[in-house]
Amino acid sequence: MKELVEVIAKALVDNPEEVVVTEKEDGKITTIELHVAPSDMGKVIGKQGRIAKAIRAVVKAAALGDKKHVDVEII
């Protein structure tokens, strides 16, 4: 899942070298943290959070095959 979020984020931002994705597992819940440059934050979140919601939806759909619960946090 980490690689999926990284590929999506790098395609959206102007500074792909500043994209950092970390993955933390706590039992059945996996949290993926996405760090981007402050100037790229709006591009990752989108108007009214639409892009952020879409990223979360894609990751959750991909996680269904693994039967995991995945949360994506944009920091």
Distance CA 21, CA 35 (A): 6
pLDDT at res. 43: 95
As a whole number of angstroms, the distance between CA 5 and CA 34 comes to: 8
The residues pairing with 31 across neighbouring beta strands, listed in sequence order, are 24, 71
Domain that holds residue 27: 1-74
Q: Please tell me the predicted confidence (pLDDT) of residue 1.
A: 87
Of the candidates 61, 59, 51, 67, the residue with the CA atom closest to the CA atom of residue 23: 59
pLDDT of residue 6: 96
Q: In this structure, what CATH number is given to the domain that contains residue 42?
A: 3.30.300.20
Predicted local distance difference test score (pLDDT) of residue 32: 96
Q: What is the mean pLDDT of residues 11-17?
A: 95
Count of domains forming the chain:
1
Q: Summarize pLDDT for 15-68 with one digit per residue, the tens.
A: 999 999 999 998 889 999 999 999 999 999 999 999 999 999 999 999 888 788
pLDDT given for residue 19 in this prediction? 97
- Sequence-distant (≥ 6) Cβ neighbours of residue 22 within 8 angstroms: 2, 32, 33, 35
